[in-house]
Amino acid sequence: MRFTEGLHDVPMTAVRPDLSPLDGRYIRLEPLTEALLPELWRVIGQPSVFAGGFGGGAAGLRDTEPGFVDWARSYFPWQRGNVYAVFVQGGPYDSHLVGTTSLGDFDLANEHSHLGWTAFDPRVWGTQVNAEAKQLLLRLAFTHGFGRVKIQADAANLRSRAAIERLGARFEGIHRRDRKRPDGSWRDTAVYSILTDEWPEVAASLEQRLERFGAQPVLFRAGGLEASA
């Protein structure tokens, strides 16, 4: 049994996961490296991705590769989380980079973590990618002893909030005037969470969503049907 320093009477069961690849049926999560950032910019450096609130909203979009790389160095939770690149696994788009997602803000004493910093190529919106990415990271968190995983979105981003709610996450409330957007306006943040006791039900729902795709690999689409969260 591990204990937090200074709190020797309180057992700590949460353990930070190693940053290592995670294999799903349709996607593979690999550690995001700086060498991949130019390719990631070509995938998600699009107005439609930032318009929903990713990266602080439309004003956060960097329209050049060097600008995006510089922004990404400070945006993603490199030190306080596990940052992943998302690749298609199998099918005609095998090994294509299609986005990024992270599990971070590890609070081991309170068994909390945060699933976020997620964005995908619009061509895979509405496919298996978002659901399986969430499945892999939620499973990682709960099998490492975390009791609560937070997922949040700009309160004005109704598409992302709907996607979070479809996961089965519970709405906790709004953090008002939570942070400043790149355009100078203030963002309200809608906060959701999934608790370890709720994970079996959420896991079953995600599995049911993925089973509808059967053996069909990830196929690129002309437009997105589901927002990333």
Q: What is the pLDDT of residue 164?
A: 93
Do 142 and 221 meet the contact criterion of CB atoms below 8 Å apart? no
Residue 135: is it exposed, middle or buried by C-beta count within 10 angstroms (0-12/13-18/19+)?
buried
pLDDT in tens, 97-152: 999 999 999 999 999 999 999 999 999 999 999 999 999 999 999 999 999 999 99
- What pLDDT band is residue 12 in, cutting at 50, 70 and 90? low
Q: What is the pLDDT of residue 222?
A: 78
- The whole-angstrom separation of Cα 25 and Cα 216 is 10
Examine the pLDDT at 14 and tell me if it is beyond 60.
Answer: yes
pTM over 0.75: yes
* Lookup: tokens for 98: 């299609």
pLDDT in tens, 54-65: 998 999 999 999
**3-class SS of residue 191:** strand
- What pLDDT band is residue 52 in, cutting at 50, 70 and 90? confident
Do 138 and 62 meet the contact criterion of CB atoms below 8 Å apart? no
Examine the pLDDT at 2 and tell me if it is beyond 70.
Answer: no
Of the chain, the percentage scoring pLDDT greater than 70 comes to: 92
Distance between start and end Cα atoms, the chain? 34
Task: Show me where the domains of the chain are located.
Answer: 2-211
Examine the pLDDT at 40 and tell me if it is beyond 70.
Answer: yes
Residue linked to tokens 């995001």: 32
Query: Domain spanning 2-211: which CATH class is it, in words?
Result: alpha beta
Across the chain, mean pLDDT equals 91
